[in-house]
Chains A and B, each alone.
Chain A
Amino acid sequence: MDYLTVREIAEKWNLSIRMVQQFCTQGRIPGARKFGKFWAIPADAEKPRDPRAVRRSNTQESAPGSLLDHTNLMPLMNTPFQPGQCRAAVEAMAEGPQRDIAMAEYHYFTGRPEKAVKEVEPYLVSSDMGARLSACLIYAYASLSIGEIHQAKFALGELSAVLTAAGEQSPQFQAAAAFIAAAGAVLLHLPLPKGLPANGDFLSLLPTGLRAFALYVQAHYRYLQGDYAASAGIVEGVLAMGAAVYPIPSIYLHLVAVMDYMSLKQTEQAKAHLLSAWSLARPDDLIEGFGEHHGLLGGMLEAVIKPAWPEDFKRIIDITYRFSYGWRRVHNPETGHDVADDLTTTEFAVCMLAARDWSNQSIAEHLHISIATVKRHLSNAMKKLGIPQRHELQRFMLR
C-alpha cells in the first residue's frame, strides 16, 4: 500500500496540516499509522466528512438562535483603544478564545502572520462560531502572507461553506457570516460569494467596530467598481460618526480613502488620510494594512512614508512583496503566476500612476525622483510586461 505524508494529504484534500493531524489523532482516517512523531496516511484514504454536517444531523448545537455572541468575533478589531495601547487592550481581555483570537489579530496586523496562523489553528473547527469565523478569516490572510496557499484556499472555502449554512441560522449569525465572507472575498478581489445578503440586511446587527470594518469592505468594493467618489463618501461618513476610536478599522478606512483620492487626483487629501492612518498605526506597529494596500496607494508610501520613516518603509515593502506573492497565487488560479510579479514595488507604483494618466513630470514630482528615473522605471516595467505602449498598462495594474 502507498502512504502519503500529512503535508501531501493536506495539499490533496485542501486542508491545513494541523487539521489532518487532528483527524489522525481522532482516528478519523482509517489506515493512518504513526511512526514515531510522524503519521503515514494511505494514499487512497477518503477525506473525513465535514464535522459540522455530522453535528447538525446529530445535535442541536447549530439550532437557530444558538449563536451569536459577538465577544469572540474579531475582538481586537471591535475594541476601542488609544494608539499605543493595542497590546495592553489584548492582555486585558479574559483568557480564552477572546484573548487568543485578539492576540492572533494583533500578530497579523503587526506583520507577524506566522504567529497568527499558529494561534488561530485550534479554532478552525471550534463550536464557538464567532471564534471559528474569525479564525478562518485570519488563517486565510495569514496563510496567504506566508505562502501557504492551499491553507489559505481551505480557509476561504470554509468561509463560503459557513455562509451557505448561515441561511438556516439566526440573523446575528447570518450577519457575522456575511461580514466575514465579504471581507474574505472583496479584499482579495474575488467574486462575492453566492447568497451574500445586502449590506443593509446585516450591518445594523454588527457591533460598532465590526460595522466600521464592514463599511471599509463596502468602500473597497465601490473602489473596485471605479466609483471613487462614492467610496470616499462612505469613508468620510463613517469616520465622521466616530469610528476613529476603533483604530484597526479606521486605519483601513483611511487607506481606502487614499486609494480613492489618488484615483481622483486629489493628492493633498490622499496625503492627509495617509498621515491619519499612520498616526493611528505607528504607535502599535500596525503596519500590515500598508503593505497589503501598497499597489493601490499611487506611490503615496514612497512619497510620504519613505522620506520620513525609511526603516518602517522597508518593513512595509517586505510585507508588500510577501502579501502580493500569495495574493496572486490565490487570485490567478490557472497559472499561479501573473507577469506583474516581475515588477519591483517602485516600478509598480510608477506604473500605477502612469496607468492613471499621470505624466512623467507629475510622477517625478510626486515621488521626489528625477524624470529620467521615472522613464527608467517605466521602460523597464513595460519591457518586463511585454507591452509597447503606456495605455496598455491598465491591463496589468490593479484597479
Chain B
Amino acid sequence: MEKTNRYEFDGEVLEVPLRWDEFSQQYVEDYSGVIESPIYLPSGRPVLLTIEDACPDADMADDDPSSIDCGSCRHYHQFPGSLLGVCLRSKEKTKQKDREKEEKEL
C-alpha cells in the first residue's frame, strides 16, 4: 500500500504520497505530482507549494522584499509539516474551473 500523509482542511481531504529518500533514509513527501501540474481539492481550490512564485492577486502578509511566494500571502494556508498548502483566494477561480469543466464535458 502506498504511504501517504493526510491533511484535512475545511472538510476536504488531501492525501500526499510519500517516497523513500535514500539520502536521508526516511520517507518524505513526493511533490512531483504538484510540481508538474497543479492539483485541486474537490472544491476546486488549488493546492500549491509554499515556494510557488506569487500570483498577481497575492496579498502579502508583510512588506518584506523577500515575500515573493505563495507562502508569504495572506490567502495561503500551509499544512503543518508540509511544503504544500491551499490557496484560499479561489472563489473566483473555483467558478472559473467549474465553467471550464462544464465546457469540456459538453
Contact in complex: B36, A372 (CB < 8 Å): yes
Tell yes or no: A368 within 8 A of B by CB.
Answer: no
> Which residues of A, 345-399, contact B by the 8 Å Cβ criterion?
354, 357, 359-361, 372, 375-376, 378-379, 382-384, 388-391
- Taken together as a complex, chains A and B put the C-alpha atoms of A161 and B24 apart, in Å, by 41
Contact in complex: A360, B78 (CB < 8 Å): no
Contact in complex: A376, B32 (CB < 8 Å): yes
The distance from the CB of A340 to the nearest CB of chain B, in whole angstroms, is: 13
Contact in complex: A384, B35 (CB < 8 Å): no
Tell yes or no: A342 within 8 A of B by CB.
Answer: yes
Q: Evaluate whether A379 and B53 lie within 8 angstroms (CB atoms) in the complex, with A342-B24, A391-B64 already known.
A: no
Select which of A361, A388, A389 is within 8 A of B53 by beta carbon.
Answer: A361
Contact in complex: A375, B68 (CB < 8 Å): no
Chain A contact residues (Cβ within 8 angstroms of B): what range?
A: 10 to 19
Tell yes or no: B39 within 8 A of A by CB.
Answer: no
The distance from the CB of B52 to the nearest CB of chain A, in whole angstroms, is: 7
- Taken together as a complex, chains A and B put the C-alpha atoms of A384 and B49 apart, in Å, by 16
Contact in complex: A390, B23 (CB < 8 Å): no
User: Could you say which residues of chain B place their CB within 8 Å of the CB of A390?
Assistant: 50-51, 66, 68-69, 71-72
Q: How many residues on B have C-beta within 8 angstroms of the other chain's C-beta atoms?
A: 26
- Taken together as a complex, chains A and B put the C-alpha atoms of A354 and B21 apart, in Å, by 23
The distance from the CB of B3 to the nearest CB of chain A, in whole angstroms, is: 15
- Taken together as a complex, chains A and B put the C-alpha atoms of A383 and B82 apart, in Å, by 9
Contact in complex: A378, B51 (CB < 8 Å): yes
User: Could you say which residues of chain A place their CB within 8 Å of the CB of B81?
Assistant: 388
Q: Evaluate whether A383 and B51 lie within 8 angstroms (CB atoms) in the complex, with A388-B83, A390-B66, A390-B71 already known.
A: no
- Taken together as a complex, chains A and B put the C-alpha atoms of A241 and B78 apart, in Å, by 54
Cβ contacts A to B, 23 pairs, < 8 Å: A342-B24, A354-B51, A357-B65, A359-B68, A360-B69, A361-B53, A375-B49, A376-B35, A379-B31, A379-B83, A382-B51, A382-B83, A383-B28, A384-B23, A384-B24, A388-B71, A388-B83, A389-B50, A389-B71, A389-B72, A389-B78, A391-B66, A391-B72
- Chain A interface residues toward B at CB < 8 A: 342, 354, 357, 359-361, 372, 375-376, 378-379, 382-384, 388-391
